[in-house]
Structure 1
Amino acid sequence: MEELAIALMTGADSITRSLLHRDVVMLVDSGGIAPAMERLNGPNEVAAALRALTAETSISAASINGAPGFVLTRDGVVIGTVTAEMRRRLLTSVWVVSSPEKLRHWNRR
C-alpha cells in the first residue's frame, strides 16, 4: 500500500498501473451518493479512478478494519479510505469507502 500511496502522491501513473494485477477490481462504496456500489475493472480504469479520487488530497497510512490502507483527506476532512488485497505483490482488489456516514468516526478524531 505504501508504494501505491507514493505513486499516487507523485502522479506516477505508470508505477500506479504496474502495481495493479491485470484482473484488478475496484469497488467504491459511496453510501448512496452514487446510485449503487461502483465496480471498476482492469489496471487502466482502476488507476484512472484512483488518480481522480486522490487529486488534491493528503494520503496517510492507516489500519482500516485491521488491514493496511490509507486515509484520504481534503481540507482537514476525511473524504475516503482505501484498502486492498494483494497476490504476488500486485493489487487484485481495491476497496474505497467514500460514504460520509461511514467516514463519520474518522472525522471525529
Structure 2
Amino acid sequence: MEGWEESAVTWMLDYGPLEWRLEGYETLRHHPPFMAWLFRQLSAADLTAARESWRALRAAQDVPDPEQHTAQLQGLTGIGRSLRYRAQAADLLERAMRGELFVPRL
C-alpha cells in the first residue's frame, strides 16, 4: 500500500462507520479500493437521507415553535453541506483508487 493509500484508509476509518475499526473488518483495511467503493456508497446514502430529512422538515405543517424549526433547518443545512463535501471526496478517492489520473482545474 502506498503512503497516500494509508492516509486514505485512515481518513475513511475516521469518517466511516465505527464498526470498521473493529475486529472482523480487516478485509476493508486490506483492500483500500473496495473500502473506497463502499465508503462512497455509504456517503451518497447519508447525503440522500439528509436531503430527504431537510425536505420533510421544511414541509412540516404542525410546527409548534417556528424559531426552533428555523434553527433545525439551519442545522440540517450545515449537516447536508458537510455530507456533500464528504460524498464528493469519497467519489474522488474511489476514482483515484481505481487509477484515474486527475488534472488540476481552477
**Structure number with larger C-alpha Rg:** 2
Greater relative contact order (Cα < 8 A, sep 6+):
2
User: Which structure's residues are more often helix, by fraction?
Assistant: 2
TM norm structure 1:
0.22
TM norm structure 2:
0.23
User: Which structure's residues are more often strand, by fraction?
Assistant: 1
